Structure 1
């Protein structure tokens, strides 16, 4: 029992000593734990801040990635466009080289043509000098007449003149006789020129009169057409009919549209052939009377116009 008691006493002593030894370490550990928790909270706040920044940076990275993709697409388009432009530039350069070679050949041809033109101008100048001399000789013989004519006509006249001169030489006429004939020809020429001038003036007067007459005829034609149309409608309305007359002078066409007393759509007719016998006869009589009113004859004669009419309508037409 004593040993057990001693053992328990010893255990209690050792436990008290152990507690005394561990008491300062526990306080230090608590302080370290508190300091660590504060650090952990600080680190947690920093972690949250870094997380928010990471999200922001990721968003910016996504935006930059999108922009980079767009820029890459534009770069590809620009690259293809540059390639196309380079090809076009090469083609244009080839065309330019070809045009340069053509220009050199054309310049060479131009120089050759200039030399030929110079030679031709020299020859032409010589021929002009010869022509001037011939003209001066001709003007000394006869003054120039301002009457431009065709070359073939002049050549024909020249041949005729040469034949006449050869015949005159063969006839043996004197200079005085030739001068007399020349005066006679000049008088005939002036007389013919005066006649032609009068004929031209007469033609101009006839054109003016013809145009005036044509305008008057058109006015009379229009007036007569309107008068016939109005008088035709007046005669139709006497018996309760309705209709119109269309006259096209350009196409030489006359169209008569007539409607009977039954003014329905079925009774409307574009021509008198679809009307009844009496209606057709009455519209024909109306047409004749409209024409007679415009022609203004001294008397009229109409035979068997009432073949398809009833007696009442016939008497009205006779009246």
Structure 2
């Protein structure tokens, strides 16, 4: 089925050598949480990077990448659905969530983080996984596709298709969110999270339906934003980012929420112009982080995009 209205023919649904060590904390009711450490080169010689992730399910591997200031739990609303058909690996990007920042000599920019993610896959024994990413994670997913490190890409509201004005607006909002998260005392965050109005005050910039988030999830993601070690460096590196390359070698799906308040949906049209073979999907009623707003729809888009 196709629709119109801002989207031209839019579907609605929508090398590094490593030596790795892995430690895991299994939980019967939740995806296996683990960390993996692996060697990556730097201008000062080999360094050890450590990444935290959760893994669950069976099938072809699917790597999930979150946005700036978030953590892998952003994908929790869809993980169980995805895990029925995929071996799901939800990653805390370096310097976010439970993953420490990259070691000295490694910058938190695209030219470094993309090969680090490739090295992560090698360390986990994953060859060319499918990848789905949101926001910064969507941009990283597209870069992985451009480098032919993955077999398919699903990018949800990916960064990098903005005008200078749109980028400055988004970065201003992100910096304000970060400042607020760092200034609010934890008891205040916990109190706000207990009501729908409070959850909206904390998260309505990224969710169209903030009331769907649990109080515990809102507290955890507010702390993740406040404590993200790589936030400032990642944001600074993004000031010169513009995605301008086609990705002819792998299937690409780009999906955008109709209520995205951070990266406006016309950026999806630009993405389609730059990647003409991409499937452009409209996510009705969804905000910038659509996994929360319509889990069934987003899971379907990701599964369809990774077939």
Report the TM-score range of the alignment, normalised by the length of the smaller protein. under 0.3
TM-score by length of 1: 0.15
Q: TM-score, normalised by structure 2?
A: 0.15
Q: Which has the higher contact order (CA 8 A, sep 6+)?
A: 2
Larger Rg: 1
